[in-house]
Amino acid sequence: MHRPVADPKPVVWTIASSDSGGGAGIQADLHTFNALGCHGCSVIAAITAQNSTDVLSTEAVSPAIFIAQLNCLLNDLPPKAIKIGLIPDVQLLQQLVLWLAEHKAKHRFSVIADPVLSSSTGVNFASEQLISNWQQLLPLLDLITPNLPELALLSGMPDAPVASQALLLTQAGAAAVLAKGGHNPDSTDITDCYISDSASFGLTQPRITTANNHGTGCVLSSAIAVACAHGYPLHDALIVGRAYLQQALAQGYPTGKGAGCLQHHSWPIDYRYFPKLHGPGTIPEPLLRFASMAAPIGLYPIVDSVQWLKRLLPLEPDVIQLRIKLGSASEIEQQVAQAVQLSNDYKLRLFINDHWQLAIKYGAYGVHLGQQDLNEADLPAIAAAGLRLGISTHSYAELLRARQLGPSYIALGHIFATQTKQMPSRPQGLQRLVHYAALCRDIPTVAIGGIDMLRLQAVVNCGVDGVAVVSAITAQTDPEHAFVQLKNQFQQYKVESRYAHNA
């Protein structure tokens, strides 16, 4: 019998040094790659003799074997992403700068660098020449993740604010900087500061006080590289990396007489391990709270007119959304007013897309907003009016932003390619849907985008509470029959999914 061919794992390289104690360096990188579903390759820059208390000796590999490793791997196992760690030898770092300059643009891999300039046991690798070569590496990096002492050395501005130091590295060529805040002793929280030419924000998490913290910088940068290799945009890769690190720290274990190791587990799905976002475009404290859905969502049709509403209402949908994009202001208001009245007559939970003022004015059940609409809508007014709130999301960053609002439900999409509207992102796919839904176990979720009868069961099995459909109903020759069939199948698949989960 032939077994199905599995999708190939993304290839990720680590260019770093070996840790004979197994908690950091190449060893920690490879553990992280494996735990997060990538195939790891290693280019060893140096071998260290170290345990949990001391780094006793470091010996760099020869320039010839260093370059041979790079070229050998590139010929057969080209990377989706490269993580760079400890390279204690100036000549090797110079060679890496030249090698990346020759190959990075052609092969289009991401480069994430953790500039290890000292060890957690106090060994210093930061010569003036090494720092100079790291600065030459900056224009070839998609992200650099220095801790605060490393940031001060690389920026040459130890007394400047962290954001100013990070900005200086971007001006020197780095595409983005994540300044890690773990060395700040003045807070019970840790805030990492992200800065690029196009964005800046902070990621904050509670500080986990533990002796089992060897290799935190290696693990964070490796997890970010893995997420990039899986195709996540950088802001999402940061979130995944930070959550993976927090999870690994929380489950760390002792080894020898010194610092213990992080526990490599799996893709993070527990919300308590994820950071809070703050900065431009994020939602400040105190958090808002919107009314709950009160009953399961189920099949969730989205229609663009009252005429469609009238066709589906006799079939008793549980929830429906009116998404009107065309018409004058008076025409739209007339349709919203009529739709709300109809929904009250049929005791239907009606969400109005975008037009939150009209939804409040006519007393709709709820409002559905996209990410851009969140910046413009009066969210406290919507909450005060008792309306439910649904929010569209297309990424981890948008999902965390939505969660911080306490909405009535979160829409996850678009799962598959769709022709119903122009989308700002790539289709998310089923695996990401599984991760997103698991992150929202305490908030109802709705999958949306390109879902039809053939894809319905696979989507339901991802753990969502509802499935939104548009053309699967409105583009069919018999829309009423399509609705009834989809609704019945959704209910059947949901029962089967619960049974399988509990078995």
The whole-number pLDDT of residue 1 equals: 44
Q: What is the torsion angle, in degrees rounded to the nearest 10, for the CA atoms of residue 91, residue 95, residue 97 and residue 103?
A: -170
363 has pLDDT over 70: yes
List, as residue ranges, the binding site: 321-325, 353-354, 373, 392, 418-421, 450, 470-471
**pLDDT band per the 50, 70, 90 thresholds, residue 101:** very high
48 has pLDDT over 60: yes
DSSP 61: P
Give the model confidence (pLDDT) of 122-166 as tens digits: 556 778 899 999 999 999 999 999 999 999 999 999 999 999 999
CA contacts within 13 A on the Cβ side of 55: 22
Report the topology of domain 298-502. Answer: TIM Barrel (3.20.20)
Report the topology of domain 11-278. Answer: UDP-N-acetylmuramoyl-L-alanine:D-glutamate ligase (3.40.1190)
| Interval 54-60 mean pLDDT | 90
Percent of the chain with pLDDT over 70: 93
Are the C-beta atoms of residues 175 and 142 closer than 8 Å to each other? yes
**Residue among 417, 418, 429, 498 at smallest CA distance from 459:** 429
Are the C-beta atoms of residues 247 and 439 closer than 8 Å to each other? no
**Residue among 358, 355, 351, 353 at smallest CA distance from 318:** 351
List, as residue ranges, the binding site for Mg(2+): 354, 373
Give the model confidence (pLDDT) of 270-320 as tens digits: 999 999 998 765 555 456 789 999 899 999 999 999 999 999 999 999 899
Q: Which of 119-133, 179-193, 483-497 has the highest mean pLDDT?
A: 483-497
Q: Domain spans of the chain?
A: 11-278, 298-502
Phi-psi region of 237 (alpha: psi -120 to 50; beta: other; left: phi over 0): alpha
Q: Which pTM does this prediction carry?
A: 0.94
Buried b (16+ CB within 10 A) or exposed e, 61-92: beeeebbebbeebbeeeebbbbbbbbbbbbeb
How distant is the alpha carbon of residue 188 from its chain centre?
Answer: 24
Pairing of strands 55-60, 39-50: antiparallel
